[in-house]
Structures are given as C-alpha cells and as structure tokens.
C-alpha cells in the first residue's frame, strides 16, 4: 500500500477543484466523477511526496538558503486565494482575466504577507504565524504538579519554555532554555501549577519549539485556559 503523507487529502481535493476550474475556464467539458477521483488520488500521493523529496534535496545542497517555515494555515490561505482568483477571473466564452500563474502568485503573496500584516494590525501573532511545537521531544515535565526538570529526547536541539501566569503571546516565555539532544535543564515554577481546566485556568504552561521559533502561550480557541505555542523568530 502506498504511504500517504500529511496533507494528502487537502492536496487531492485542491487538485480536483483546480482541474474543474481550469477546464471551465478553457471552455472544455467537465470530466466524469471517476476521472476526477482518480486525479485526486494520484495528486494526494504525488504532491506531498514531491514536496518532501524536493525539500530534502534542497537541504542537502550546502550553499542554498534555508527553506522558509510554512504552516497549514498559510497553505490554506494561499490555496483559497488562488482558487478565488481563478473563479472570479473566469469569463464564459472569453479569455480569463487572470492566468493560472497569476492566481498562484496571488496565493503565495497572501500566504506569506497576510500573517505579518495581521501581527502589525493586532499586536499579537495569529494562528497563521505560529510554528509547529516539539512537545513530543520533552520528557519529565508535562503532567507534573510542579514541573521543574525536562530532558530533550529527540536528536535535534529544542527550545523549551516555561510560561508563567502573565506571560502570553506576543511575549516569549521568560524561562526559555536551548537543549541539545539528551541534555536536561531545571526550571523554577515558583508556586504556580500547570494550567488545568477548569480549576486553574491561568496556571503555567510548558512548550517546546524548534529554534529559532520562540516558546510562548495563548488562549485556547474556546478561550478557556492557555496552550503553549511557538512564535516565529523575532
């Protein structure tokens, strides 16, 4: 069985939508459902693997710059804008106002420029700006009543932050330490306890990030308590 990577379903659905739009823009008849399904399945397998292998090959070349961090929210925003531009630029029986490459450029521009714009307007980082956490790389802290020690169990450096009450996005955790693989560190939680719903909404929070992302925390989507997040580099 082929292995489908993260983002496979999104890649398949997005490809089907773009194929439908492009054929409509070209004045060509729509494909049958089974053909669209086959295209979606192939795209779901090929696109994520192509991106992963290309990124691996890029990182193997020493003189190339580091690839930018991109999260799912940015991919969704860029894809939504690109599809919207394709749809709005369609003129039945006439040449589309915007070519496919123009829609892709618009999507990329929104994906990379909207997050910093939202930060400038709101004064705090939105979900589209956040980086993936590395909480699975920590051992000995999460779940303790008064967390004090943590060990990096992964094979890459991590930044571990202990966010105390009052320390929230856009400010990083004051107690932040960089841990090399296998290295341990001790933190001072004082009298604070881990954030525990619903009895201790403003307790402390532990989060691990991949440097240069910065550990911090923000309110959960439901607004009840806090969750650790990784802010982009300053």
Is cis: bond before 212, omega within 30 of 0? Answer: yes
Give the count of beta carbons closer than 10 Å to the beta carbon of residue 225.
Answer: 17
Q: What DSSP state is assigned to residue 137?
A: G
CB 194 within 8 A of CB 150: no
pLDDT score for 198: 64
3-state secondary structure 103-134: HHHHHHHHHHHHHHHHHHHHCCCCHHHCECEC
Give 152's strand partners.
Answer: 138
Residue that has been written with the tokens 């989507």 in this structure: 221
Both tokens assigned to 188: 């001072």
How would you write the pLDDT of the chain (234 residues) with one tens digit per residue?
A: 568 888 899 999 999 999 998 888 888 888 999 999 999 999 999 999 999 999 989 888 888 888 888 899 999 999 999 999 988 888 877 788 888 899 999 999 999 999 999 999 999 999 999 999 999 998 876 655 556 788 999 999 999 999 988 899 999 999 999 999 999 998 888 877 777 656 677 788 889 999 999 999 998 877 677 889 999 998
Parallel, antiparallel or unpaired: strands 158-163 and 138-139 = unpaired
Both tokens assigned to 186: 């001790």
Give the C-alpha separation, 201 to 98, whole Å. Answer: 49
Residue that has been written with the tokens 């709101």 in this structure: 122
Parallel, antiparallel or unpaired: strands 149-152 and 138-139 = antiparallel
CA end-to-end span of the chain, whole Å? 43
Cα distances (Å, whole numbers) of residue 44 to 5, 38, 196, 199, 211: 8, 10, 39, 43, 30
Burial of 135 (0-12, 13-18, 19+ CB in 10 A): middle
């Amino acid at each position: 069985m082929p292995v489908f990577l993260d983002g496979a379903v999104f890649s398949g659905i997005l490809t089907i939508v773009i194929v439908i739009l492009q054929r409509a823009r070209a004045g060509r008849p729509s494909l049958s459902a089974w053909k669209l399904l086959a295209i979606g399945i192939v795209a779901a397998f090929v696109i994520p693997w192509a991106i992963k292998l290309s990124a691996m090959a890029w990182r193997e070349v020493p003189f190339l710059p580091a690839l930018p961090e991109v999260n799912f929210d940015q991919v969704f925003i860029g894809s939504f804008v690109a599809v919207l531009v394709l749809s709005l630029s369609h003129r039945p029986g006439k040449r589309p106002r915007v070519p496919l490459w123009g829609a892709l450029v618009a999507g990329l521009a929104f994906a990379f420029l909207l997050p910093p714009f939202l930060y400038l307007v709101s004064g705090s980082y939105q979900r589209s700006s956040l980086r993936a956490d590395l909480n699975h790389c920590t051992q000995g802290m999460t779940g303790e009543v008064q967390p004090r020690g943590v060990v990096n169990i992964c094979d890459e450096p991590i930044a571990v932050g202990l966010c105390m009450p009052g320390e929230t996005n856009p400010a990083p955790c004051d107690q932040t330490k960089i841990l090399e693989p296998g290295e341990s560190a001790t933190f001072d939680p004082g009298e604070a306890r881990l954030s525990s719903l619903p009895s201790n909404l403003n307790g402390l929070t532990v989060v691990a990030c991949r440097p240069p992302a910065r550990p911090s925390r923000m309110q959960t989507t439901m607004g009840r308590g806090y969750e650790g997040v990784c802010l982009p580099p300053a």
